[in-house]
Structure 1
Amino acid sequence: MIQLQTPLPIAFLFLPLLKLMAESLLFSSAESLLGKLASRAFQEASLAFGVHRDLQQMKETMELIRGVLLDAEKKNPQSSALSEWLIQIKRVFSDAEDIVDDFECETLRKHVVNTYGSCSRKVSRFFSSSNPVVYRLRMAHHIQDINTRLTKLASQRSMFDLQVIHKDTRVVHVREMTHSHVNPSNVTGREHDKQEIIKLLLQDDHGQSLSVISIVGMGGLGKTTLAKLVFNDPIIHACFPLRMWVCVSNEFELRNVLIKILNSTPNPTRENFNNFETEQLQIHLRNTLQGQKSLLVLDNVWNEDPTRWDELREIIDVGVEGSKILVTTRSHKVATIMHIKSSNLYLLGCLSEEDSLSLFVKYAFKDGDEMKHPQLLKIGEEIVKKCGGLPLAVKTVGSSLFSKVDEKEWKSVRDNEIWNLEQNEKDILPALKLSYDQLPSYLKPCFASFSLYTKDTSVFGTQVCTLWGALGFLPTPKASESMMDVATQLLHELWSRSFLSEYEDYGGECRFKLHDLVIDLAVYIAKGEFEIIDNHNPKLYKNAHHLRFVENNLLDQALLPSSLRTIIFPRGANNEDFLNTLVSRCKFLRVLNLNFSEYASLPRCIGKLKHLRSLSLMENENLTELPDSICKLQNLETLLLVWCMKLQKLPKGLANLVSLRYLGITTIEPACPEKDIASLTSLEKLGFYRCDNFESLFKEILLPTLKEFSLSDCKSLKTVSFHAIKNLEVLMISNCNKLELSMGLNNQILDLRLKLLILSDLPRLVTLPRWLQGSANSLQSLYIQHCINIYELPDWLPTLNCLQGLSFLYCPNLLSLPDNMHRLTNLKEINVTGSYELWKRYKPDVGQDWHKISHVNLVCNDYQSESEEELTDKS
């Protein structure tokens, strides 16, 4: 493994895996469950079912146990007896949660029957259940069993010398959001490193056509940040006409790497390289590289197989003298197999104590406040020494102390025992674990769920919101708030602790990445609760609640825990026996993700998964039908049928999905089931993708709860009534060639609430629609891309005074921006990638009209703009 020349403290040698770290999530589970038991709705339901007294006993015993859980967390139990006690608590809490949810399901079922059944016997039969007397007796028996187990556990709590702490007093002090792009002024202590890397990139190679420079260092040093500083430097722009950025990560499979490289090059014809064979990919890439001096950044390389590197090098070496590859890696072996000369290997060292302290101050204090608290600053100096000069460690610990002025809290961080634990350089940092420990309980399960995400991928707020909502991690929204609003607030809090990187808030949607070490920490924390099943870890933990399978062949070996809450299937899954077993055995499933699988249909008994909150079937190319029993799932909050190209029809009874918040549809049905959709009174997000037979939408309905609406590739769609969806915050329209963009408003200007608007691949768009003026006091982000016929922007554009981001991507006929752009005082960035006339006119310092927008950052990348593309294509 990597041996850095800069000495590190003992804190960074090896951190042993403690038993069942998921037990640290128990307090948040207890809080959530007690909140449900105390709610008025549940109290009324318990009285109706005749189990009120038994449930009150359960609540009181759980409160006794809850009182000592925070102290158990702090002890970080090494004791096997305490660890086993916490395991038993976890099991009984899990069973109690299932009972509480079961009552909620039964209450909701009765609501559906009472609402719709009076009009239709068919509905009553559809939602028929067992004898209510038998149900009460069965549930009463389960509750008594849980009470017996809880009483026994409560009597044992005194054995472990645990203190009673009823309330989690930890709070998150949120920093103000900053711009997500790398700003050199926000990077501390790396100017010398940047200049050294630039020298290596510009040095004469004496006729060599392709050379490699490698930045090597352990996780958390800031290798990627340094590479970005270099990549965006004007000197590099001038020297390398073609620049490409690829995040390689763990899989160095040739075809995937070729696709990533091509996706980072200019692509004016918008080729979908995912459909290319390897031979086509290498021909296209070599043609792109031919005759151009290029810089290719391969970020986060782990591949140690020289054969795979040789295959790639043969393709990308097209004989252009001076072309370079810049690699970031943690491994010296990676650098060796890529045939790097010793002079081209750059060992990135730790920050100096001075630079570390400067970085710490940025994150721990508001501007200038460090001078008001000299004693805290002195303690901070001691904390910084323990961070060993790693920027990620300095930032996370500094963020955890932001706005705290109690010396005891600072000393507690300085004196925490975790600094004395050993750690291997590839494992998590004590600083990260310490920052996690200081999170309030409601954020801990949210953080643990990050263990299910793959490294080096962009994560959208919608994805997180869907998962957290389904698992009950989100607090109940306040009046006028959506679930997405609540999820965004929690993400913002995690960002404020530096757990999220490259965070971008588009208004109504956000996007971020997770550092490798952050995911490592999440895996460490969630061990035994959230599990990734792959060839390296094929074992299933009997107490696991959340599983993601990586390999299709592993499904044959799995004996599923009946208490499973989440399962994410691997790409290409087609094991019908496994799916049938899952649906029949795991009756408490909350999340079922079958994206990219190959099932032609689903088991009809799926309607019995009454606890299911999220069902995702995206890009199932073989799916032709769905059982109507799906519409029995009254708790379902998310149903995604996006890009299921062979789906003949939607299941009957969509109106019965009374809890549905997020619906995404691809279908070949002739018309939209508008009346059913209008009955979904909880619906917040709706999307139609490749619904080629829809011609009009929302003529006679209203969707007052809808916050986000997406249209993509609906070839026949001509009209959409904006009056039906006027409470939208996010609107995305892509590749709907026949759509009348006035949206039925003509010159009307409604009072709108849009925060984010994306218009893409719309040949009928010649200027911005007038109705957009109605969002003058709310619109934060506006993206216009691949609209080849837009030729002018309206004079009223500068009245959109909340705008923070503007993008005009690949709009070749757009020649100018309106005057008075200086009025947009909140505007931070204008991206004109692919819109070369705009770039020439407004190019910094030299463009004839640059002075009109000199207050904002003008961007023109000659590689595909990843974030906007992903934002448009996401579902």
Structure 2
Amino acid sequence: MARAIVSCVWDYLTSFLPEGIQQEARLIIGVDEEVKKLRSNLEAIESVLLDAEERQVKEGNVKRWLDQLKCTSYDIDKVLDEWNYDKLKQEIEGVPSKKIKEVNEKLDVIAKQKDMYDFKVSRSVEKSKRVQSTSFVDVSEICGRVDDKSILVRKLYENSEQHLPIISIIGMGGIGKTTLAQFAYNDNEVINSFDHKMWVCVSEPFDEYRIAKAIIEALKGSTSDLVEFQSLLQHVRESIVGKKFLLILDDVWNEDYKKWEPLYHCLKNGLHGSKVLITTRKESVARMMGSIDIINVKELPEEECWLLFKRLAFFGMSQEECQNFEEIGRQILSKCKGLPLAVKTIGSLLRFKKHREQWQNILDSELWKLEELEKDIFRPLLLSYNDLPSMIKQCFIYCAVFPKDYKIDKDYLIKLWMAHGYLKGYENKVMEIVGQEYFDYLASRSFFQEFKKDGDNNIIGCKMHDLVHDFAQFLSKNECISIEVDGLKDPITNSSYHEQVCHLMVTIHREDSFPDSIFSLRRIRSFLYNFEGSSYSLAPNILPKLFGELTCLKALTIGRKYGSVIEDIPPKEIGRLIHLRYLNLKGLKMRKLPEELCGLYNLQTLDISDCKNLEELPQGIEKLINLRHLENYGVRSLRYMPIGIQRLTNLRSLRWFVVSGGGGTDNKACSLEGLKYLNLFGELCIKKLGNVSNVDEARRSELKNQKNLLHLYMDFKKDEGERTNEDDEVLLEILQPPLNLEKLQIRNYRGNTILPNWMMSLTKLKDLELMHCINCKHLPPLEKLPSLEDLFIDKMSSLKRVSNEFLGIESDGTSSSFIFFPKLKYLTFECMDEWEEWDYEITRKGEEEDITIMPSLVSLQIHNCPKLKALPNHLVQNTTLKKYIGGCPLLRYHR
């Protein structure tokens, strides 16, 4: 990890001090010489770090030398960042000279000490380079443990004489206990056997308060008004009375029956047939909890190990290559000792090694023999970790800041990596794309698992196996930690790692329980409030001290989507966070952001999503010259965009652009034309398009030139007064989106037709939503959109009939096509009050072929269409189609 930090500082130093800035530095007496000395020391140290990091596992003195180096590297990074901030303000002073001299003296000592260890000299400072692209193998699809699975499922759904039996899965770390429990949890036979299922990751310590809250949240969704443990137990009891439930407690370590007893007696109030399933590494834990049904998970049988190993390690190899590598592959596999996690890790590593010598090096590695490592599984993990590029090592270790079983949002993680300078662009690739590649790189090597995917099958989130998380913490040496605050004890003061903490995530379980010791963590670079796992918001009174004391922060999360009580950001203190790159204020209740926030020139991401009371952004926003992401989705009170927004030429994400309705904002508001100065990526929602009074302003927005925009939402709502139908029709025609658009939503549109000239040119459009288009009497010929997969139509209250025009058929009923909507998968109609008929009259000139409509359709949803009488024949006859129909009393075909 030290190597990654030094590399990060080196990149910062070389990019921050190009020739022009060096010229300015020479004007400050002594700075130029100090910078040269800094470069020299860093280069000399970096050349031995590869050897040092490999030896630190066995040699304590090398480990201590690396820890010294890490601390000093953070100090250097801080000094350079301060100097860069002064440069941005055009106020370079003599103070940085003294600070560089101070950190140089520390680095000088470290550089001289390195000669004591006789390190091997390797390559010079590692430059940012292209990461090898990979195809992803989802190991969750790999089968195994057939007998264990069938035994467990049978135990869960069959009747038992015992009231609330506890079934235990026992086995060593990395053996596959959680995977087995997940299989049973998602088994259809098990699902149908219980009224409720709950999954709680327990880990250490056994926090009965948190477990009770997790159970309630799984049953009811919220526990914010419950404080005392007895109140929680009472709520659990009330929630499960008369209900047959399955509770899975994953990764239990507690051996104290007194901590388990109150919860167990409370759970007995469930219906007979309810069951508890635990996973644990200790049989003594299972016995303490009164478990008599025990499944001992043994090492994976050799042939099952081999199947898993082969699928990963031999991926992409020819049959001949597989045969050539089989013997050495089986020798390496034997060192994994039947642990599935070890097999996955080594298999994923070897997948990228195509030469026999590389496989031999893995087989002969000294790491297999190390006794100093805390767990057997760490040896294969360390082999895989050592193979990572240094910047990706840093990205992996940073993940130790999340608690165990945390659902990591991919976009959040990449923006945090970016904030700390771990993502360096190369080959014209921007940081966000580099972050995607780093994430995929770690996923392909089995450092991530349990992937969450969006509708397009793109990975948007993941978890870490608890042993991989342990490994990241082992490497982090308490530099990246997560703590849980319950008011009973101070987790920082009572620890031995106070001075080492640089990145911290805090989960709060009790109101007004924020530990003062956090304010003393002066090295801290990340303060992340766990808005997903916390029961309480951060208290407003801690913010002045939090901002005022932790002035080295580069990433700060204090927001919470629901339940935040913070109404104001302290202006003076927020201005002190000059190093800040990532700021998350999601869900806060403030009406206005302080102008002082605009002095954070380094800021890359500002997340104010769901700040529903926020009325305006600061006028000085143009000063945020490094801002790349303004996440303002759900800011419903926002009246306009400040005029300075159009000067943020680095801006890539702007979720909502609000068109001003006047009201005294004319001189302060950015017009729709301002969009042409931005280069936006991904998604944009233009709100209150009805406020546009000059169509030339819309034309000058040049929306069609936003080539990187994939999702566009057009909301034609107006602040005051009515618009004519023709106004909206003209405006829609002018607002031509880019032709590579994949998703389009048109909302609150008052035109009579939705058929601008550009619409059928959207050949890549997959998803279309038409909502609250109350004057439209006919659907446009949407069949002419060749890539359309998802169509959602809502509150089109003037539409009475869906017929040939929907399929793009001419008025005489003839068609040149015989397959309509070839790719449409999902079709939804909602709240169509006047819709009565849905039928077609189609003929084909001179041909006898069958006509096919919507051959790919898998889901049809129709809700609250009270006058609709029948479905067309092609839907009635489709027996495999899933139909979800409600609020349609006249409709005869419900399935």
1:214-225 matches, within 5 Å, as 214-225=168-179
Contact conserved, 1:777 with 1:801, CA < 8 A, in 2? no
Q: State yes or no: 1:795 paired with 2:743.
A: no
Per-residue CA distance 1:425-444 (angstroms, 9 max, x = gap) = 98963222322222111101
* 2:150 counterpart residue number: 195
Contact conserved, 1:461 with 1:484, CA < 8 A, in 2? no
Q: State yes or no: 1:89 paired with 2:69.
A: yes
Contact conserved, 1:27 with 1:70, CA < 8 A, in 2? yes
What is the identity, as a one-letter code, of the residue corresponding to 2:218? K
- After superposition, the Cα gap between the structure-2 partners of 1:191 and 1:385, relative to the gap in structure 1 and judged at 3 Å, is same
Worse-matched range after superposition: 277-286 or 97-106: 277-286
Quote the offset at 1:212 in angstroms: 5.1
Quote the offset at 1:769 in angstroms: 9.9
1:420 pairs with one of 362, 369, 378: 369
2:89 pairs with one of 109, 113, 126: 109
Contact conserved, 2:201 with 2:249, CA < 8 A, in 1? yes
Aligned to 1:511, the other structure's residue is in SS state strand
Partner Cα distance (2:201, 2:730) in 1:
42
Aligned to 1:795, the other structure's residue is in SS state helix
What is the identity, as a one-letter code, of the residue corresponding to 1:176? S
Worse-matched range after superposition: 806-815 or 147-156: 806-815
2:409 pairs with one of 460, 480, 485: 460
Partner Cα distance (1:433, 1:767) in 2:
62
Partner Cα distance (1:335, 1:764) in 2:
65
Contact conserved, 1:171 with 1:439, CA < 8 A, in 2? no
Partner Cα distance (1:281, 1:452) in 2:
32
Partner Cα distance (1:732, 1:245) in 2:
38
Contact conserved, 1:628 with 1:652, CA < 8 A, in 2? yes
Q: Percent identity?
A: 26
- After superposition, the Cα gap between the structure-2 partners of 1:313 and 1:423, relative to the gap in structure 1 and judged at 3 Å, is farther
Contact conserved, 1:259 with 1:281, CA < 8 A, in 2? no
Quote the offset at 1:457 in angstroms: 2.9
Quote the offset at 1:190 in angstroms: 1.8
Aligned to 1:601, the other structure's residue is in SS state coil
Contact conserved, 1:783 with 1:807, CA < 8 A, in 2? no
What is the identity, as a one-letter code, of the residue corresponding to 1:488? Q
- After superposition, the Cα gap between the structure-2 partners of 1:338 and 1:255, relative to the gap in structure 1 and judged at 3 Å, is same
Partner Cα distance (1:223, 1:314) in 2:
25
Quote the offset at 1:197 in angstroms: 2.2
Quote the offset at 1:163 in angstroms: 0.9
Per-residue CA distance 1:364-393 (angstroms, 9 max, x = gap) = 112554641545322221222221212111
What is the identity, as a one-letter code, of the residue corresponding to 2:627? L
Q: State yes or no: 1:705 paired with 2:685.
A: no
* 1:687 counterpart residue number: 655
- After superposition, the Cα gap between the structure-2 partners of 1:519 and 1:179, relative to the gap in structure 1 and judged at 3 Å, is closer
- After superposition, the Cα gap between the structure-2 partners of 1:40 and 1:692, relative to the gap in structure 1 and judged at 3 Å, is closer
1:524 pairs with one of 464, 474, 478: 474
Q: State yes or no: 1:591 paired with 2:555.
A: yes
Contact conserved, 2:503 with 2:527, CA < 8 A, in 1? yes
Contact conserved, 1:494 with 1:500, CA < 8 A, in 2? yes
Per-residue CA distance 1:339-386 (angstroms, 9 max, x = gap) = 5443xx322222011211221111111255464154532222122222
Q: State yes or no: 1:542 paired with 2:518.
A: no
Partner Cα distance (1:411, 1:331) in 2:
36
What is the identity, as a one-letter code, of the residue corresponding to 2:675? L
* 1:123 counterpart residue number: none
Contact conserved, 2:163 with 2:268, CA < 8 A, in 1? no
Aligned to 1:615, the other structure's residue is in SS state strand
2:217 pairs with one of 240, 243, 259: 259
Q: State yes or no: 1:745 paired with 2:698.
A: no
2:110 pairs with one of 147, 150, 153: 153
Per-residue CA distance 1:433-458 (angstroms, 9 max, x = gap) = 32222211110110111111122232
Contact conserved, 1:701 with 1:724, CA < 8 A, in 2? no
Aligned to 2:98, the other structure's residue is in SS state helix
* 2:434 counterpart residue number: 486
Quote the offset at 1:96 in angstroms: 2.4
Q: State yes or no: 1:63 paired with 2:35.
A: no
Contact conserved, 1:65 with 1:154, CA < 8 A, in 2? yes
Quote the offset at 1:610 in angstroms: 1.9
Partner Cα distance (1:324, 1:784) in 2:
44
- After superposition, the Cα gap between the structure-2 partners of 1:785 and 1:542, relative to the gap in structure 1 and judged at 3 Å, is farther
Partner Cα distance (2:571, 2:549) in 1:
13
**Matched positions, count:** 768
Partner Cα distance (2:716, 2:732) in 1:
18
1:851-870 matches, within 5 Å, as none
Partner Cα distance (1:430, 1:787) in 2:
59
What is the identity, as a one-letter code, of the residue corresponding to 2:471? L
Contact conserved, 2:540 with 2:565, CA < 8 A, in 1? no
Worse-matched range after superposition: 642-651 or 165-174: 165-174
Partner Cα distance (2:477, 2:304) in 1:
35
Contact conserved, 1:462 with 1:509, CA < 8 A, in 2? no
2:448 pairs with one of 475, 479, 500: 500
What is the identity, as a one-letter code, of the residue corresponding to 2:219? I
Partner Cα distance (2:295, 2:239) in 1:
28
Aligned to 1:542, the other structure's residue is in SS state helix
Aligned to 2:520, the other structure's residue is in SS state coil
Partner Cα distance (2:285, 2:691) in 1:
55
Quote the offset at 1:294 in angstroms: 6.6
CA RMSD of superposed structures (Å): 5.1
Partner Cα distance (1:361, 1:27) in 2:
33
With the length of structure 1 as denominator, give the TM-score of the two structures.
Answer: 0.74
Contact conserved, 1:685 with 1:709, CA < 8 A, in 2? yes
Per-residue CA distance 1:811-868 (angstroms, 9 max, x = gap) = 799999x9576689xxxxx67899999xxx99xxx995367x8xxxx999xxxxxxxx
- After superposition, the Cα gap between the structure-2 partners of 1:368 and 1:627, relative to the gap in structure 1 and judged at 3 Å, is closer
Partner Cα distance (1:700, 1:94) in 2:
43
With the length of structure 2 as denominator, give the TM-score of the two structures.
Answer: 0.72
What is the identity, as a one-letter code, of the residue corresponding to 1:560? S
1:398-477 matches, within 5 Å, as 398-422=347-371, 429-476=378-425
Per-residue CA distance 1:491-541 (angstroms, 9 max, x = gap) = 000000011112345468722222222221111111242233455554353
Partner Cα distance (1:765, 1:247) in 2:
51
Aligned to 2:7, the other structure's residue is in SS state helix
Q: State yes or no: 1:651 paired with 2:651.
A: no
1:176 pairs with one of 131, 135, 145: 135
What is the identity, as a one-letter code, of the residue corresponding to 1:450? C
Contact conserved, 1:452 with 1:531, CA < 8 A, in 2? yes
Per-residue CA distance 1:752-809 (angstroms, 9 max, x = gap) = 4456x59799999999999887664486xx5989999999994356525899997779
Quote the offset at 1:200 in angstroms: 2.2
Partner Cα distance (1:47, 1:557) in 2:
43
Per-residue CA distance 1:663-688 (angstroms, 9 max, x = gap) = 23465756122423222221222235
Per-residue CA distance 1:403-425 (angstroms, 9 max, x = gap) = 31333332332233333345899
- After superposition, the Cα gap between the structure-2 partners of 1:416 and 1:62, relative to the gap in structure 1 and judged at 3 Å, is same
What is the identity, as a one-letter code, of the residue corresponding to 2:55? K
Aligned to 2:406, the other structure's residue is in SS state coil
Quote the offset at 1:193 in angstroms: 1.9
What is the identity, as a one-letter code, of the residue corresponding to 1:439? L
Aligned to 1:221, the other structure's residue is in SS state coil
Partner Cα distance (1:767, 1:235) in 2:
50
* 1:113 counterpart residue number: none
Contact conserved, 1:750 with 1:774, CA < 8 A, in 2? no
Contact conserved, 1:613 with 1:637, CA < 8 A, in 2? yes
* 2:574 counterpart residue number: 606
- After superposition, the Cα gap between the structure-2 partners of 1:247 and 1:440, relative to the gap in structure 1 and judged at 3 Å, is same
- After superposition, the Cα gap between the structure-2 partners of 1:165 and 1:788, relative to the gap in structure 1 and judged at 3 Å, is farther
- After superposition, the Cα gap between the structure-2 partners of 1:519 and 1:312, relative to the gap in structure 1 and judged at 3 Å, is farther
Partner Cα distance (1:338, 1:503) in 2:
32
Quote the offset at 1:607 in angstroms: 1.5
Quote the offset at 1:467 in angstroms: 0.6
Unaligned runs of 5+ in 1: 1-24, 111-128, 264-271, 825-829, 861-875
Aligned to 1:701, the other structure's residue is in SS state helix
Contact conserved, 1:210 with 1:323, CA < 8 A, in 2? yes
What is the identity, as a one-letter code, of the residue corresponding to 1:352? P
What is the identity, as a one-letter code, of the residue corresponding to 1:221? I
2:606 pairs with one of 639, 652, 657: 639
Partner Cα distance (2:854, 2:746) in 1:
23
